[in-house]
């Protein structure tokens, strides 16, 4: 079948599949009226201490609630009452909630750190769509300890499902590393627990004179319950802003915003591979400036940008012949990252910020400075980023300028059209440049389906052919169905140097069908079954199939929080050129077709002790592959959290046998939500590396504060390098 016929057949199937399916009535009706709440202007500010029931300011405001369950009993009223109040002053947006609970002594709190995941705890979260564009928003949340949890959402949180078999998860659409300046206080009492949020308006981006989209979520862990104010159909979560409610009554003035965030740093480092290894002390100063040109358009300036406080990368082993994806973790690049995202994240990233300041072999390239202008003009998202990096003589890296220009106009009905320009230029070097131009868009087909796509072209000093890439994708998500398909093509000469390609020169059709089945019997121990099948295949431009992956699976989710995944994978690997998969083991050219079983099992993650086991057994490159992974999570109270992870890969191939294993230990002790110590110890058997990362964080506003970091690396039993870094940063708000 030709690619064109495949895509036409897939699209026809998708259209037919949207007809005739129904689930629980009312909540899946896309014409259902969404709830409305009113924000109340107040003259006197409440005392933000969590004691809402004793605060006269809050008691004068009528609460609202009426949350409905998403699980376990879909569509029914939440088992516990939730009262929500919203108010605002000229400078601050307030949300107060009383989470009534019949057993406040049984509240589950699993982590006390800032931005700790709240999925497995008693928690309250809300999202605000400050532009009322049904696409973008800010999430705030907390638990009964008063943890500060915040994130940015773009494109309703819809990113890209990573297709690398050695990695998993969805990339893009949700940015947990956004850190705003705000505060929350909580109180546990006989009626349950309460939380009080105070968010300065200058922390948000909004357009005065508009209503906001808003939705609320509460987790009640003793019953593994999730409930929403604006009901969410099965398969959706808080990010689905087109299904949020409306917040009215806002009469906001334009806030002014000018923040200066300087830092000082001292590093003592020793490189044991140097000719004359000895400790070297390096002092540094730098910082950022954040200025709001308008309430929705912000200018960020940075000088001598440093990311010492950022977690190190998790070790990976490349057991294939394609590139591994390491996600961006640096806060400066993660703020508004969704605005600059173009392409297919994790597979064909046209702009990948890790190309700035990080060399090909992982070495640090100093960032001299730069600027970013980002925000919204009416319904148009705009972004301009320019960064300058210094030279690294030992690595042969010259000074460079990186520039990204991005515009994306959003239309009603979840549709948009955009363009991007990405460029790298060597400073003072002739004919040292690489640029990418792209157009992209999405077409919303009601609330249930959409079509997305992009087309890109690269340009450089070398004359090459087929410097193009494009993708078309269609998906339908509604009535418990998730159906999608697409086609991606990357030309032989396509070379985005400031992007990321998992592999080059391919044509890829893909399709996926998943169904959420909820048993009607309320006494059923099973919460949900998720049978699904997915397929993707990579072909080169000579018609040779390099990879085919068919995944047939069913997820068994129990009301107890336990899950079992039972799957079958059918794989094809076409190898044209021999490659070394491990030291001394070379895979020969040929076509290898295999099948493998896949089993995943994990227990309730909110319990003090939980496990996660994944096992894949089957054929690989003409032989056998045994891939096992296990995670033991141990929690002591609400302060100590730990994960012990072991990844085991055993290959028995005709050309040789080998094992490649990774051990990872992550432990955290939180003295308070803003004061913690954390360790990450990793061992990679493939390169005989032990890596230790110890961090102490004493957080202040918006994740600034004091950080003490110690790194120590050992390879083949010999010290490789070590360093101790002390960094202090502080946010100064120059306009109160």
The residue-averaged pLDDT of 85-89 equals 96
Nearest to 401 by CA among 368, 450, 363, 377: 368
154-163, 353-362, 722-731, range with greatest mean pLDDT: 722-731
What are the beta bridge partners of residue 651?
625, 658
Q: Looking at the predicted structure, is the pLDDT value of residue 725 above 70? A: yes
Q: Are 554 and 567 a contacting pair, CB within 8 Å?
A: yes
d(CA 664, CA 645) in angstroms, rounded, equals: 5
pLDDT, tens digit (0-9, with 9 covering 90-100), for 375-390: 888 889 999 999 999 9
Cα–Cα distances in Å, from 689 out to 312, 662, 671? 14, 10, 31
Percent of the chain with pLDDT over 70: 94
State the chain's mean pLDDT as an integer: 89
- With contact defined as beta carbons under 8 Å apart, do 44 and 503 qualify? no
Q: What is the mean pLDDT of residues 13-17?
A: 38
Work out the pLDDT band at 575, boundaries 50, 70, 90: very high
- Strand, coil or helix: 464: coil
**610-643 confidence digits (pLDDT tens):** 999 999 999 999 999 999 999 999 999 888 999 9
Give me the domains of the chain, ranges plus CATH numbers.
Answer: 34-248 (2.60.40.1190)
Radius of gyration for the chain, computed over Cα atoms and rounded to the nearest angstrom: 26
Q: For residue 600, what is the enclosing H or E element?
A: strand 590-602
Q: What does the pLDDT average to over 437-456? A: 94
Beta strands in 654-717 (DSSP E): 656-672, 675-684, 689-699, 705-715
The CA–CA distances, whole Å, from 424 to 199, 352, 431, 463 equal 38, 12, 11, 17
Give the CA distances from residue 10 to residues 163, 387, 479, 530, 537, in Å, rounded to whole numbers and listed in that order.
19, 42, 19, 21, 15
In degrees and rounded to multiples of 5, residue 304 shows phi and psi of: 50, 55
> What contacts 408, CB < 8 A, 6 or more positions away?
339, 380, 381, 416, 417, 418, 419, 440
Residue 377: partners with Cβ closer than 8 Å, 6 or more residues away: 296, 297
Going by C-beta distance under 8 Å and a sequence separation of 6 or more, which residues neighbour residue 162?
A: 168, 169, 170, 171, 325, 346, 347
Whether the per-residue pLDDT at 34 is higher than 70: the answer is yes
Question: Is the pTM of the predicted complex or chain greater than 0.75?
Answer: yes
Among the ranges given (65-69, 168-172, 173-177, 283-287), the one the predictor scored with the smallest mean pLDDT: 168-172
Q: Are 506 and 41 in contact (CB under 8 A)?
A: no
User: Which residues fall within 8 angstroms of residue 326, CB to CB, at 6 or more apart?
Assistant: 313, 316, 354
Place of tokens 């030309």: 491
pLDDT tens sequence across 391-421: 998 878 899 999 999 999 999 888 999 999 9
Q: Report the sign of the C-alpha dihedral through residues 169, 172, 178, 183, in that order.
A: negative
Rounded distance, CA 264 to CA 57, Å?
42
Task: Report pLDDT digits (tens) over 475-491.
Answer: 999 889 999 999 999 99
3-state secondary structure of 12: helix
Mean pLDDT of 187-195: 95
- pLDDT of 542 strictly over 50: yes
Q: Decide: residue 419, CB within 10 A, 0-12 exposed, 13-18 middle, 19+ buried.
A: middle
Contact criterion met (CB below 8 Å) for 174 and 153:
yes
Beta strands 149-153 and 174-175: pairing type? antiparallel
- Counted residue by residue, the chain has a size of 736
Which pLDDT score, from 0 to 100, does residue 321 have?
83
Of 323-332, 468-477, 489-498, which range is least confident?
A: 323-332
CA 82 to chain centroid? 29
**Cis upstream peptide for 72 (omega within 30°):** yes
CB 592 within 8 A of CB 622: yes
> Hunting for tokens 């990096």 — which residue is that?
389
Four-residue CA torsion sign, 74, 76, 80, 82: positive
Number of helices followed by number of strands (H, E) in the chain: 4, 46
Reported as a single tens digit per residue, the pLDDT across 663-676 is 999 999 999 888 99
**If you write DSSP's letter for every residue of 314-346 in order, what string do you get?**
PP----SSS--------HHHHTTHHHH--EETT
- Rounded distance between C-alpha atoms, residue 11 and residue 486, angstroms: 9
What is the SS3 assignment for 206-260? CCCCCCEEEEEEEEEHHHCEEEECCCCCCCCCCCCHHHCEEEECCCCCCCCCEEE
DSSP class of 650: E
Query: pLDDT band at residue 21, thresholds of 50, 70 and 90?
Result: very low
> Would you say 168 and 162 are in contact if contact means Cβ atoms under 8 Å apart?
yes
pLDDT (average), residues 140-146:
94
Instruction: Kindly give the pairing relationship between strand 623-636 and strand 640-653.
Output: antiparallel
For residue 8, is pLDDT > 80?
A: no
Q: What are phi and psi of 74, to 5 degrees?
A: -55, 130
Is 667:335 a contact under the CB 8 Å cutoff? no
Q: Are 639 and 669 in contact (CB under 8 A)?
A: yes
Please state the separation of Cα 620 from the chain's center in Å: 31
């Amino acid at each position: 079948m030709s690619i064109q016929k495949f895509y036409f057949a897939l699209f026809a199937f998708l259209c037919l599949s949207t007809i005739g399916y129904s689930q629980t009535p009312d909540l899946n009706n896309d014409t259902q009226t969404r709830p409305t709440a009113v924000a109340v202007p107040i003259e006197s500010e409440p005392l933000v201490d969590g004691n809402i029931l004793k605060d006269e300011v809050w008691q004068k405001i009528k609460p609202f609630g009426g949350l409905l369950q998403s699980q376990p009993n879909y569509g029914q009223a939440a088992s516990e009452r939730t009262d929500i109040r919203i108010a605002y002053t000229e400078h601050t947006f307030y949300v107060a909630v009383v989470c009534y609970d019949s057993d406040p002594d049984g509240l589950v709190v699993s982590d006390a750190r800032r931005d700790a995941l709240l999925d497995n705890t008693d928690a309250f979260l809300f999202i605000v769509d400050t532009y009322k564009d049904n696409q973008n928003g800010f999430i705030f949340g907390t638990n009964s300890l008063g943890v500060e949890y915040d994130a940015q959402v773009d494109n309703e949180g819809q990113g890209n499902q990573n297709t690398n078999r050695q990695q998993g998860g969805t990339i893009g659409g949700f940015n947990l590393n956004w850190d705003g300046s705000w505060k929350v206080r909580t109180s546990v009492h006989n009626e349950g627990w309460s939380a009080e949020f105070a968010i300065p308006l200058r922390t948000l981006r909004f357009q005065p004179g508009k209503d906001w989209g808003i939705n609320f979520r509460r987790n009640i862990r003793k019953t593994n319950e999730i409930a929403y104010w604006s009901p969410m159909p099965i398969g959706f979560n808080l990010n689905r802003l087109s299904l949020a409610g409306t917040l009215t009554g806002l009469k906001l003035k334009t806030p002014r915003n000018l923040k200066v965030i300087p830092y000082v740093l001292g590093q003592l480092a020793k490189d044991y591979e140097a000719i004359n290894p000895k400790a070297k002390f390096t002092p540094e100063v730098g910082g950022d400036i954040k200025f709001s040109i308008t309430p929705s358009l912000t200018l960020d300036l940075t000088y001598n940008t440093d990311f010492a406080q950022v977690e190190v990368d998790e070790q990976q082993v490349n057991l294939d012949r394609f590139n591994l994806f390491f996600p961006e973790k640096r806060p400066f690049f993660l703020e508004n990252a969704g605005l600059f995202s173009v392409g297919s994240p994790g597979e064909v990233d046209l702009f990948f910020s890790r190309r700035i300041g990080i060399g090909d072999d992982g070495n640090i390239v100093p960032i001299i400075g730069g600027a970013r202008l980002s925000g919204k003009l009416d319904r148009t998202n705009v972004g301009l980023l320019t960064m300058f990096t210094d030279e690294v003589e030992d690595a042969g890296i010259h000074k460079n300028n990186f520039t990204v220009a991005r515009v994306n106009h959003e239309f009603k009905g979840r549709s948009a059209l955009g363009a991007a320009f990405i460029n790298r230029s060597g400073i003072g070097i002739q004919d040292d440049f690489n640029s990418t131009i792209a157009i992209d868009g999405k077409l919303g087909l009601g609330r249930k389906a959409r079509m997305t796509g992009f087309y890109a072209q690269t340009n450089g000093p070398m004359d090459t052919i087929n410097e193009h890439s494009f993708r078309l994708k269609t998906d339908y998500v509604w009535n418990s169905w998730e159906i999608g398909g697409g086609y991606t093509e990357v030309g032989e000469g396509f070379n985005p140097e400031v992007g990321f390609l998992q592999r080059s020169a391919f044509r890829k059709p893909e399709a996926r069908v998943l169904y959420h089945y909820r048993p009607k019997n309320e006494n059923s121990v099973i919460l949900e079954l998720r049978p699904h099948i997915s397929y993707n295949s990579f072909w080169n431009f000579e018609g040779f199939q390099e990879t085919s992956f068919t995944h047939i699976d069913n997820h068994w989710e129990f009301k107890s929080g336990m899950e079992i995944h039972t799957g079958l994978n059918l794989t094809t690997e076409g190898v044209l050129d021999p490659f070394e998969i491990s030291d001394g083991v070379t895979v020969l050219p040929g076509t290898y077709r295999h099948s493998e079983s896949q089993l995943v099992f994990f227990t309730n993650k909110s319990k003090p002790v939980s496990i996660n086991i994944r096992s894949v057994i089957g054929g690989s490159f003409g032989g056998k592959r045994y891939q096992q992974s296990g995670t033991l999570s141990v929690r002591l109270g609400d302060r100590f959290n730990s994960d012990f992870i072991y990844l085991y890969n055993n290959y028995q191939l005709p050309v040789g046998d080998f094992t490649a294993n990774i051990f990872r230990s992550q432990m955290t002790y939180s003295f308070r939500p803003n004061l913690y110590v954390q360790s990450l110890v990793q061992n990679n058997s493939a390169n005989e590396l032990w890596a230790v990362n110890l961090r102490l964080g004493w957080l202040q506003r918006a994740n600034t504060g004091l950080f003490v970091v110690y790194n120590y690396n050992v390879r083949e039993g010999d010290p490789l390098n070590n360093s101790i870094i002390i960094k202090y940063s502080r946010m100064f708000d120059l306009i109160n």
